[in-house]
Structures are given as C-alpha cells and as structure tokens.
Structure 1
Amino acid sequence: MMLKKICIAATVATLTFGSMACVQAENMKPGKGVTVNPARATWNTGFFQEALVRRGLEELGFKVKSPKDLQNPIFYKSVALGDVDYWTNGWFPIHNDQLPKDFYDKAEKVGYVVKAGGLQGYLVSKKYADQYDIKSLDDFKRDEVKKAFDKNRDGKADLTACPPGWGCEKVITHHMEVYGLEDDINPIKASYEASMASAIAAHMSGEPIFFYTWAPNWTIFKMKPGKDVVWINVPEINPTPGQVPALDRMTVSGVEGAVSDPTKLGFVVADIQIVANKKFLEKNPVAKRFFEVFTLPLSDINEQNTRMNDGEKSKKDIERHVDEWIAKNTDKWNAWLTEARKVAN
C-alpha cells in the first residue's frame, strides 16, 4: 500500500517527484516479485547464518520460503537440479566428495560466510597445558600427563571424542592408530552434548579436560581458546584415507588460542560458503551480490550457538537472535544491502 501511495502523482506539478520517489522505493526492494527456495543443513549450528541471509533477501524484496532441511548429498543434487536455490552451509573442501558429477556446471560457491571458519581439532585446559608443557597429542604418551587426564583410572588419558557414526570418529580412530596412542588415550564415544557438559563441569571445578571439537560451536564460546583452553597439534600430518587432496588444509595459521602458529590440527580446515544454483544467480544478481558480501565473525556464530545450546533454539528464538545481531551491526548490515541494491537492473 505504501509503495502505491508513493507512486501516484496527484497533480501534474508533482508527477516528476512522484516518479522519482517510486523508482527510489522500488530500488529499495529490487527482489520484489521473485520467490526464493532456500535449503538448510540438518545441524543446528548453521541455522543462524541461514536465518540472517534469509532476512537479508527479504529486506531486498524477495519472497523467501521456509528452508528445507536437507542432508548434504541431497542438497547438492537438489541445487544442481534447481529444486532449491541456495544454502549457507557449504563446507569446503570437506563436502567435495558429496557433490554430484558435473556439479559446477549447474551450481557454484559464492563468497565466504566464514573463511577458514570450519575448524576441527583437539583442545586441552590451558592451565594444565602450561603446567605439563603439552603441545601435541604425543605429549599424552608421558606418564605424568596420562595420569593427570585419567578420570576412570584405566591408565589412559580420557578424551571427549565423537559418537559412533560421526565423520570425526573415523579421523580420531585413525589418529590413535597412526600416532601409536591406543595405549595412551581413551576416546569417549558417548553422547557428545552430554560428554561436553560433563567436561565443562569438570573444568569449572578446576579439573583438567581434553576434548575434540569443531567450529562454529558453543563449546569454544563457553571455554574460550587462549583463556580457558588451547588448541594443540597432532605430531605430524598423516591424513585419513580420502583426505590427501586436502593435505594443505590440515595446518593453519592464525588460530586463536593455539599452542603454536601455524597449528597442525590434523583435520581439514573448511571454508564455510554459500552454494547456489547458477541460473538463480544469473537471474538475480542482487541476491548474488548479497551472498558475496555477507560474512560473519566466527565468534558471533559461536555466541549464538551457545544461546541455542542453553535452550534458546525455537524458530522465534533464532529470529530474535537475528534481530539483535542486526541491531548491534546496523552499519555493516546496511552496507551489505546497499552493495546488493547497486547491481539492480
């Protein structure tokens, strides 16, 4: 209704002004009339990014449907076919082996939600890493280190690891074998959320903890790298079969709270990126430009993920998190929208 009112010139004298106002209003909503079909990953640590991008497209005038929650391989097949238009949850190069044949003929990666943001690795209580000079997994072969981290008194250091069936379980098992740690470290494979809750409680009580995690994740917001815990190295880069093409992505510089720089994480470090159908991007350059400029600090995602882990995980909660993030980052948000509007036809 407001757009119509702006666009109607009441008299000849106001016709030119009315036309200019109409054009200006339309430029604010260049996506008007276009319906967008997004998808979303099944892990909730990616829900916040999806909701922010969806909000941005809506502010640009697009009608954005509720996202379809899809498993990775199904999404990549669907976006190539054009059944969905995009998602914000691409992890590369980790997802490379899940792409269908000739994928890049029909879809592409756009921008970086978080460049090198998909971290994985092992962390140790900073207090005890300093006390025992722990720099890598190899240090858990030392008797005094094993004893300090041995909670069940079986002679091995206890590692909060991954439940059976998770991709990280396979990598951790490989590490235990190739680094000769099977007699030194006991990977705990119970429910990750419950195990990490127990680890955090132990940390709060002053006990040493040793765990695997990934980012974005609530764990490294609750326990901050460099202050509470530290990322440690693997002894050497020895990739799990199938990881060789990503060999250079297992050592990374600039990891906050790591014991060394660069850090040999031993897991592939992923870029988190938007993936979209090429025809959709060609028809909607405004959306493409928004995808290109959209990027988030990893700490912001970790903070929101922590709120979800603490119980704020309903649809309304996530939309409120989006509102609050935009309110705190108004200049950045408006700059993204302005950039996107510049390419409107």
Structure 2
Amino acid sequence: MFRIKSSLIALSSAAILSASPSLGAMAKDRPGEGVSINMAQATWDTGWFYAEVYRQLLDELGYDVPQITTLDAPLFYQAVAQGDMDLWVDGSFPLHDSYRQAFEQDAEIVGAVVEAGTIEGYLVNIAAIEQFDIRTLADFKRDEVKAAFDRNGDGRADLVACPAGWGCELMIEHHLDAYELREHINPIKAGYPASMADAIAAYEAGENILFYTWTPNWTLSELVPGEDVMWIEVPEVDLPDMSLAPTATLEGVVGCVNDPCTVGFPGGDIVPVANSAFLEANPAVRALLETASVPLADISAQNAAMNNGDDDIATHATEWIEDNRDRVDGWLNAARAAAE
C-alpha cells in the first residue's frame, strides 16, 4: 500500500491531468479559479441587480467575489485607481466625466451594461403641469408655482435632487446657477430612496411634486410618465461640457411636455470601470466585460419588483441568467477563450 502511494506521488502533474481530462476541462471552464475580486456597487440601489448579474457570471468563470462593497462614486473612482477595488459596473458617462481625472491613469472603461439608453431629467405631476402650464424649470420662478411646490414653507419649490457627491448632484447644482434658480428652488439632498418615497406619498395625498430621476429607476414604475407625471424641459441646454449639448435633447421621450425633449442632461451609458493592471492579469474578465450587457427594460422591471417588496436580488439575477442562458454562454465562452 505504501509503494502504491509512492508511485502515485511520483507521477508528474502533467500525467495526472492527462489521465484525468475532467481536471483540464475544469481549469478551462473556470479560468478564474483561485483569484479573488474586490468588486464594488453604487449606493443607488437601481444598479444592484445588474451588479449581481455580473458577480454571478464571474463566479461561473471561477472567480471568487466574497462580497460587493457599496461605495459612492467619488470613493470608488479613487479606490479603483489605487487598486483597492478591482471593478464595478456602475459607471454612468458622461455624468461621471468629472471623475475621469481621478481614475483614467490607472483604470479604464471597458464594455457597456447599457449603451446609449439612459435618460435623466426633471418631472412634475400632471395635475400641476395642466394647472400652471409648466413647461420648463424657468416656470419655477413664478410665485404661484413656487407656492404650489413649497412643502417646507421657505418660499421655494422643493425639488427631490441627489445626495451630495453623486454625479447628478453636481449637474443639478450647475443648473441652479445657470438658470438663476437658487432663490426659487430648494434641492433636497437627503437619501434618494427615502426622499422619493416621501414625494410619492405626497403625490398620493394630492400634493404637487418636482423631482429628478434617471433611467433605469423604480420611480418611473410608481410615477409613470404620461400617466402620473411628465418630463419637463430646461430653458436651454447648459452643461459644464457643452460638447455634449447635442445629446441633451432627445426625440421620442414618452411623457415629455415637448418632442424633441430638452431634458438638459446628456444621454449616457452605464459602463464597467476596472483597474487596468487587474484587467491585464485577468483577460477573461476583460472579455466578459466587453461582451456582456443587460437590457434597460429588464433592469427597470427588476427595479419595480424590488420597490414593491420583492428584494431577493440574488434570485432575480439567477433567474435572469437562466432565462438568457444562450447569450450568457456566448459571453462566458468568449471569456474562457481569452484566457487560453
């Protein structure tokens, strides 16, 4: 018995693999075996579903993602540049362009979760649109409009905006200055889900609401453009980077007061951002990020379900992967091929 063990130990690793094809196949199918990934997700929960989809795809490739760390955008871009984080799939560009200088030397955009499909802007309940003939943000300079949206008694219309540090917060602040609205609009910068829940409750109680949102977002399942609310326009396009101005007017926006609709925010992409050295060491991850995507409609549907209490994100992601197995296997096979 001892001699049998000794002879087995003497076999080369190559001979063992040759005698056991399944081991070689396993290594090929799971090129990430033994590698841990520090993955982040954004603080906005509308992105948690597709982050989990990507996490599970990485798991199928053998990578270990022990947890997904939730970070604000400024912290993530600093961390990915430093190598403390490997990647996230929550880049929103051009909205996050102000962070490029912080990460582009050591990290990069790779692939797209959603390409050229996101909309951002301001919405108002339809009853107020009709009563006050609201068309643009400039209408909130009118005393009767401000009074109708002033819920805290400070003489300004309340706007559900974005928490401090978010890319959209910087854009909204730019708009308040560009359109001279500081004395007329009060931006609420508390946690976005809680602020929107409060706004929805106010709407259901018959009050007027003004809020910022983006797609995909569960808010547009609760407050449907064209049925409950409408997108309003900005007086004119004014962006920190005016080279993006053509993308801030969009055609065919459902539930807008005008078509084309001057939403005032550049249309954008949701993209992965990853540390360049990490990608160099893990070509399978690069290939996966370059090929995978999740339709905007599917993200919106999951967000609506989550908002209605079905918050089992891991199961949602698993079910989506199985429902799209043919496409998913194509992405995974491309990633495996890149690792060979």
TM-score bracket for this pair, using the shorter chain length: 0.7 to 0.9
Measured in 2, the distance between the counterparts of 1:29 and 1:187 equals 48
| Contact residue 36 and residue 63 of structure 1 kept, 8 A | yes
Measured in 2, the distance between the counterparts of 1:70 and 1:158 equals 27
1:266 partner letter: G
- Equivalent residue for 1:332, pick from 313, 327, 330: 327
| Contact residue 96 and residue 167 of structure 2 kept, 8 A | no
Measured in 2, the distance between the counterparts of 1:283 and 1:43 equals 30
1:302 partner letter: S
2:315 partner letter: R
Measured in 2, the distance between the counterparts of 1:84 and 1:185 equals 37
Q: The residue matched to 2:55 in structure 1 has which SS?
A: helix
Q: Which moved more, 1:121-130 or 1:274-283?
A: 121-130
Give the percent of matched residue pairs that are identical in Structure 1 and Structure 2: 49
Deviations 1:73-112 (A, max 9, x none): 44334333433322112222333332456x4443221111
Counterpart of 1:72 in structure 2 is 73
Give the drift of 1:58. Answer: 0.8
| Contact residue 36 and residue 64 of structure 2 kept, 8 A | yes
Structure 2 gaps, min length 5 = 1-17
Change (3 A) 1:33 1:147: closer
TM-score between both structures, scaled by the size of structure 1: 0.75
- Equivalent residue for 1:281, pick from 259, 279, 282: 279
Counterpart of 2:97 in structure 1 is 96
Counterpart of 2:107 in structure 1 is 107
2:287 partner letter: R
Give the drift of 1:268. Answer: 4.1
| Contact residue 90 and residue 272 of structure 1 kept, 8 A | yes
| Contact residue 41 and residue 88 of structure 2 kept, 8 A | yes
1:121 partner letter: G
Q: The residue matched to 1:216 in structure 2 has which SS?
A: coil
The answer on 1:84 being equivalent to 2:85 is yes
Q: Which moved more, 1:333-342 or 1:47-56?
A: 333-342
| Contact residue 160 and residue 210 of structure 1 kept, 8 A | yes
Q: Which moved more, 1:73-82 or 1:163-172?
A: 163-172
| Contact residue 73 and residue 167 of structure 2 kept, 8 A | no
Deviations 1:39-66 (A, max 9, x none): 3334433322222111101112222332
| Contact residue 221 and residue 299 of structure 1 kept, 8 A | no
Q: The residue matched to 2:95 in structure 1 has which SS?
A: coil
Give the root-mean-square deviation of aligned CA atoms. Answer: 3.8
Give the drift of 1:158. Answer: 4.6
Measured in 2, the distance between the counterparts of 1:183 and 1:74 equals 31
TM-score between both structures, scaled by the size of structure 2: 0.76
Counterpart of 1:49 in structure 2 is 50
Deviations 1:274-295 (A, max 9, x none): 1112233233222212111221
Equivalent residue runs for 1:189-208 within 5 Å: 192-205=192-205, 208=208
Deviations 1:6-62 (A, max 9, x none): xxxxxxxxxxx9866665544432333433332333443332222211110111222
Q: Which moved more, 1:150-159 or 1:115-124?
A: 150-159
Q: The residue matched to 1:48 in structure 2 has which SS?
A: helix
Change (3 A) 1:29 1:212: same
Measured in 1, the distance between the counterparts of 2:248 and 2:196 equals 24
Give the drift of 1:117. Answer: 4.8
Counterpart of 2:7 in structure 1 is none
Change (3 A) 1:331 1:135: farther
Measured in 2, the distance between the counterparts of 1:275 and 1:211 equals 28
How many residue pairs match? The answer is 325
The answer on 1:215 being equivalent to 2:215 is yes
| Contact residue 40 and residue 71 of structure 2 kept, 8 A | yes
1:111 partner letter: G
Measured in 2, the distance between the counterparts of 1:31 and 1:167 equals 33
Counterpart of 1:124 in structure 2 is 124
Structure 1 gaps, min length 5 = 1-16
Deviations 1:120-179 (A, max 9, x none): 310123455467654322344567766765667888655434466766455445534543
| Contact residue 77 and residue 100 of structure 1 kept, 8 A | no
Change (3 A) 1:124 1:60: same
Equivalent residue runs for 1:122-271 within 5 Å: 122-126=122-126, 128-129=128-129, 134-140=134-140, 158-162=158-162, 168-169=168-169, 171-181=171-181, 185=185, 187=187, 192-205=192-205, 208-239=208-239, 242-244=240-242, 246-271=244-269
Change (3 A) 1:182 1:250: same
Give the drift of 1:263. Answer: 2.6
Equivalent residue runs for 1:28-39 within 5 Å: 28-39=29-40
Q: The residue matched to 1:238 in structure 2 has which SS?
A: coil
| Contact residue 73 and residue 99 of structure 1 kept, 8 A | no
Measured in 1, the distance between the counterparts of 2:318 and 2:149 equals 42
Q: The residue matched to 2:113 in structure 1 has which SS?
A: strand
Change (3 A) 1:260 1:23: farther
Measured in 1, the distance between the counterparts of 2:129 and 2:295 equals 27
Q: The residue matched to 1:234 in structure 2 has which SS?
A: coil
Q: The residue matched to 1:235 in structure 2 has which SS?
A: coil
Measured in 2, the distance between the counterparts of 1:68 and 1:44 equals 13
Measured in 2, the distance between the counterparts of 1:153 and 1:206 equals 17
